[in-house]
Structure formats: C-alpha cells, structure tokens
Amino acid sequence: MKASKCKLTLIRHGQVPGNIDRRFIGVTNEPLTPEGAAAIRVRAEAREYPEADLIFASPMLRCLQTSDIIYPGQKIIVVENLKEMNFGIFENKNHAELDGSPEYQAWLDAGGRQDFPGGEPIDEFCDRVMHGLEEVKKICADYLSERSRDEVRASMIVHGGTIMAIQSRLGICDFYDKMFNNGDYREIEIEL
C-alpha cells in the first residue's frame, strides 16, 4: 500500500504594526496593517500561494486575517499549538526599548540563541509546535481515509517562529538558519 502524504505549505502571516517597529511580537494579538493586508491580497490574487484542500492556522488574529485573504470562503481549522512563542520580558518591545537591559544584553551576547527571559523556552516551544503538527497530520490522515486518497494539499498560516521550529525539528535546517518575511512561504512534504 502506498504511503499517505501531505504537501504542506507553511505561510507566514502578513505584516502587523509590531513588525514595522521591529518588536518581539509573540502573544501580542495584533491585526494586520492595511499595507500588510494589501500585500497579501496582491500575492493571493496573483495566485502565488498553492491551492489547498485543508487550511490550518494559529488562533492569533494576524494568522486568521491572512488565511481569510489567501483562502476566502474556505474553512479554517484553528490549531492552538501553532501559536508563536511567548517572548517574556521582551514581548512587544524593540531594541531601543530594551537597550541597557542586562537581560537583553545577555541575550545579545549569546547571539540571540538562548531562551527569552520570562518567556517560553525554545525547546518547549518547538515541542508544542510539533504537537500542533501532529494534530495537523491526524486531520489530514482522516481527510484522506474518508476520500480513499493517498495525498492531500494543506496550508498552515502561522508565525515565523512556528515555521522555524517545524523546519528545525524536521531536519530541514537549523532553527536560526532561515527566517521568513511576512507573507513568505515554503512547501514541504510530510508522510502521514
């Protein structure tokens, strides 16, 4: 029997106000900027994003709004575990606001490769996101079994950190190797 697989498109949400100011935006629930929504709309109207049988999204407003623009009228399956990381004391702050903070300086001295003070530890974040991916895989497998098919196309509208976690845990690249701009995406294939 042929193995079931999912062609999965990982899409980073559109621009939010905090992105403009280069803030750490994790649990802060910001909407898309008008410019961010317009940029996603242009790409969607140009049919840049792959079609999908199933649409998954983080519950954060920016992801839901992006999903609605790219896949209007399609059901969005919200997966809590796909939320962005909590950046702790850095949340909703930028470099200028954190400059002079000993915690921020220690984080910079570590090359930004340590846990965020008071935030979600990176390993726990990656574990949570992978639990979310397992939820996605189960829904995709159920979808296929109901249709006697062996391949499904799915899209996940999520956060930059969520994509980084998935890539690193699947062995595609190191956590810090590839950061995505707003609206950028990557297609991967996973076995179900």
Q: pTM score, two decimals?
A: 0.95
pLDDT band, very low/low/confident/very high, at 175 (cuts 50, 70, 90): confident
The domain spans of the chain are 5-191
Q: Angle 61-70/34-45 helices, nearest 10 degrees?
A: 30
Task: Report the CATH number of the 5-191 domain.
Answer: 3.40.50.1240
> Residue 112 has what pLDDT?
86
pLDDT in tens, 92-141: 999 999 999 999 999 999 988 899 999 999 999 999 999 999 999 999 99
> Got the DSSP string for 101-115?
-HHHHHHHHTTT-SP
> Residue 160 has what pLDDT?
96
pLDDT in tens, 59-81: 999 999 999 999 999 999 999 99
pLDDT tops 80 at residue 1: no
Q: Which of 30-39, 54-63, 166-175 has the lowest mean pLDDT?
A: 166-175
